[in-house]
Structure 1
Amino acid sequence: MDAVVKSFPARADQADIVRRRPSREEAEAAVRTLIEWVGDDPDREGLLDTPRRMVKAWEDLFRGYKLSAGEELDTVFEEVGGYGDIVLVRDIPFFSHCEHHIVPITGKAHIAYYPRDGVVGLSKLARVVDIFARRLQTQENLTAEISNSIDEHLKPRGLAILLEAEHMCMSMRGVQKHGVSTVTTGFTGVFRDDPSEQARFMMLIRGFKS
């Protein structure tokens, strides 16, 4: 059967690229090759089914390529009783993979916004984080993609995002420094223009933790 042709999501500064998607059989064969390359035997009992399992695992780990953040943000609730103050969802756990070494990134995201014409379901913000995280990423790009998507579809008066994460490419290899946290931020609207709003955002994230 011919492999499916799909359009891979592009970075903000790139056009969409249409590529031939390898078949499952080709993906499993690639895993066998890597197992042999590291020095093991893909035909021994413990590894015999690893190519199939790994390809299946990758379908889940990188499911974000098949999902749309825009669809998650399409529904806005306008009946909020006149509420117009800050909405904050903090400590959203996420798991991603470094695009340079394809090893895990684990962290938490904090998202706050000032509603303009309504609010979005709180779970939708967590799903947007998950959609972009479940792709090959850098933390900087992940922050920008989450921010741009929410800002484009929700059009809030201001949006603030903070991601804090540990990169296994720094913990497991290279300098091997465990526990180092990387922080990235994104601000739009009133958060970008008013430093006191940024300070409030930081206080709400940190101030009420035990």
Structure 2
Amino acid sequence: MDVRVNDSKNVNDVENERDVKVAKPSRETAEEAVRTLIAWAGDNPDREGLIDTPKRVVNAYQEFFAGYEEDPEEVLGRTFEDVEGYDDMVMLRDIDLESHCEHHMVAILGKVHIAYMPVERVVGISKLARVIEIYAKRLQTQETMTAQIVDCIQRVLEPAGVALLVDAKHQCMTTRGIKKPDVATITTRFTGVFANDPRMEARFLAMINN
């Protein structure tokens, strides 16, 4: 992935910023921040319909961003070697994606299609979907998330290759700003045999549309 940064930072600096652990504010601080936003929007945070909104928003954020509390490499840790000689791709299609744009903190909704070519071991198929969910439940750009998912699977499972396609709509574009509701963003990443053999890439894409 071509990552461009300003002269004061290199690519490694940008990536390292994602790994910095920050002190987590208290729940009370988070709820007060929501009250401030309600007042900034022009409403009364103490009126009946909004009095419990800060609590509900913080509860929702715990779900939206649960990926920060989980380790995707640990999820992929248990694998199986008894595959009876299976030597073809393993593919999951139409995995629901729910993430949030790191620029506006609004929803990214779509589908993920993923495949990998096992060498000597496979992982439970639900674990692949779980890895996608962990990275999705963080503040993201679609490009970064695409790279993170593939690189994690390639690094941990060491397959012959990984293929990923993300097809999503960004509410920061569909509901605000330019307001183009029918525009989808598609990102892909291929490693190993999927990157080196055009037939494998074409087969993966054909299976998505089959």
TM-score (norm 1): 0.91
Of the structure 1 ranges 129-138 and 11-20, higher mean CA displacement relative to structure 2 is found in: 11-20
Per-residue deviation at 1:194?
Answer: 1.0
Q: Are residues 108 and 15 of structure 1, via their aligned partners in 2, closer, same or farther at CA, if it must alter by over 3 Å?
A: closer
Q: Which residue among 83, 101, 104 is the counterpart of 1:101?
A: 104
SS of the counterpart of 1:18? coil
TM-superposed CA distance for 1:64, in Å, is 0.4
Pairing 1:201–2:204 present: yes
1:144-163 per-position Cα deviation (integer Å, ceiling 9, x unaligned): 11001100111100110000
The total of aligned residue pairs comes to 198
Residue by residue, what CA displacement relative to the aligned partner does 1:27-53 show, whole Å, maximum 9, x if unpaired? 000000000000000000000010011
Q: CA deviation at 1:12?
A: 3.3
Q: After superposition, give the CA deviation of every residue in 1:146-194 in whole Å (9 maximum; x if it has no partner).
A: 0011001111001100000000000000110112111000000011111
SS across alignment from 1:111: strand
Distance in 2 (alpha carbons) for counterparts of 1:124 and 1:116: 17
- Alpha-carbon RMSD: 1.3
Could you list the runs of 5+ residues in structure 2 that have no partner in the other structure? 1-12
Deviating above 6 A after TM superposition, structure 1's stretches of 4 or more consecutive aligned residues are none
Partner of residue 146, structure 1: 149
Alignment partner of 1:125 out of 102, 125, 128 = 128
Gaps of 5+ in 1: 1-9
Deviation at 1:117, TM superposition (A): 1.6
Percent identity of equivalent pairs = 54
Partners of 2:43 and 2:59 lie apart in 1 by 21
Counterpart position of 1:20: 23
Match of 2:168 among 150, 165, 169: 165
C-alpha distance in structure 2 between counterparts of 1:159 and 1:140, whole Å: 16
| C-alpha separation in 2, matches of 1:157 and 1:16 | 28
Q: CA deviation at 1:71?
A: 1.1
1:6 maps to none
Q: Return the letter of the residue paired with 2:180.
A: K
User: What residue identity is the alignment partner of 1:145?
Assistant: Q
